[in-house]
Amino acid sequence: MTEDSRYEAVRSRDARFDGAFFFAVSTTGIYCRPSCPATTPRRRNVRFYPTAAAAQGSGFRACRRCRPDAVPGSADWNARADVVGRAMRLIGDGVVDREGVAGLADRLGYSARQVQRQLTAELGAGPVALARAQRAHTARILLQTTGLPVSEIAFAAGFASVRQFNDTIKEIYALTPSALRAARPAGAGRPGKGARGPAAPSGTPGVLPLRLPFRGPYAARQIFDHLQRHALTGIEDVTGAPGSRTYRRTLRLPNGTGIAEVDEATGDGWLECRLRLTELRDLTIATQRIRRLFDLDADPYAVAARLGADPVLAPLVARYPGLRSPGAADPQEVAVRAVLGRRMSADGARTLGGVLIAAYGEPLPQPAGALTHLFPRVEQLARAPLTGLGLTGARRATLRTLSAALADRTVTLDAGTDRDEAERALLGLPGIGPWTAGYLRMRALGDPDVLPAGEARAIEGADPSAWRPWRSYATHYLWTAEAEGGAPDPGAANRDRHTTGNRPEPTPTG
């Protein structure tokens, strides 16, 4: 976009661009999201920034009216495979807070100086500033949704000291932490009502209520249908009637464990979420993992513009506005489940998954209703005999091989992993074929441009090359319509239905 087109988006308060860029006003010293409802400033007083951190680095504070730190993330970071896109995904996953800039650079395969230079040149801020902006956002959520002491919030949000925390909050929000807590948005205590934002205080002790924002239409029914079809007993649970369902699952996090609850009913541009964490330091990464699972940073406008122009997909795009491509709350779990459920019905895969969890899962210290376990660790599965589960010898061997590769990082499925390298590593494992490798690239690595092998081969008139860079969404349009009985079935006569999570591949020997 040019600066003139960005200004036109600001003038029209176009929410499609929230998170894609930010604008700041030199006469007021604040920065905003494009859809800010305030009076549009004069063009000569407006500056544009690619990230909130860049605006903060230039001395601007966050607008209290539109709260620009609460926008969805840019879809560019999921689409891009270069070092900047990978770095942004890792920073969002909290790597800088846990491992520092050196750890980020090591994961990317670059020097810390190279990472700093590339991020600053393109985004106007380096990794420390980007992570700082994220910490400030986490701190605001905790201040406005909990009664925790300020000192505890400072360290839970990732700050090194209370003084650093105080200075950052005052610089970004022009308020002290106590004043920011007192300035909680009106109506925030009523989920789904009141001012648009990411937080809705709850009266339940130990629960962090969040509003997870998304842009454009959101096909909640379809993604909840998908999650309900595949929910594994012990780690996942879906309750309620369609339209008012709640999805719950356990989370294994760097510093502890968690339970996430997400409601199907959408608010004014957000999903209601509640987190129960044993360690508040895991708030950022837990939030990011749920966002990836529900694909909340997607750009449905760009997807619809490209896929809606295709004669095969146009009816499906119109039928399912805002369809998402589900990601993964735990990439290693998705990989194990992909092998476990191969050539099985959805019910069969769920049954087998429940048996695996009962045998090798880690019990929660305190069960939460139907949620009783964490998914098994790959380190344990790599050494486990896996007998008594009803698996063939070949599938046990594949499962152990994959688990060992994940455990020793021969295969990595982290947020910032090079997707091409990960796919090559997966294909190098006995028993992992092109379809499964592509499926994991789509689900575990969040690649928006994957068409698993053979998915479009039987669709008359299909031109998958025209679906780039959104082939993952094209795949889900086909799968969703197939599941609901209203789309061409790509090769159903030759393989399992998509609800198994796997297509047939040659079963490995040995």
| pLDDT tens-digit readout, 434-448 | 999 999 999 999 999
Whether the bond into 34 is cis, omega within 30 of 0: no
**187: region left, alpha or beta (phi > 0 left; psi from -120 to 50 alpha):** left
Give residues with Cβ within 8 angstroms of 141, minimum separation 6. Answer: 198, 199, 208, 210, 283
Tell me how far apart the alpha carbons of residues 224 and 213 are, in angstroms, rounded to a whole number: 17
Look at residue 453 in the predicted model and tell me its pLDDT. 84
Q: Among 40-44, 197-201, 506-510, where is mean pLDDT lowest?
A: 506-510
To the nearest whole number, what is the mean pLDDT of the chain? 88
Tokens 């589900």 belong to 326
Tokens 């909990």 belong to 146
Stretch 472-478: mean pLDDT, rounded?
95
- 376, 361 contact by CB (below 8 A): yes
- Cβ count near 420 (within 10 Å): 11
Look at residue 1 in the predicted model and tell me its pLDDT. 83
Strand order in the sheet with 208-213: 208-213, 270-277, 257-266, 246-252, 236-239
Check whether 192 has a pLDDT greater than 60.
Answer: no
Look at residue 339 in the predicted model and tell me its pLDDT. 95
- 459, 312 contact by CB (below 8 A): yes
| pLDDT tens-digit readout, 231-265 | 999 999 999 999 999 999 999 999 999 999 999 99
Instruction: Report the percent of the chain where pLDDT is more than 90.
Output: 69
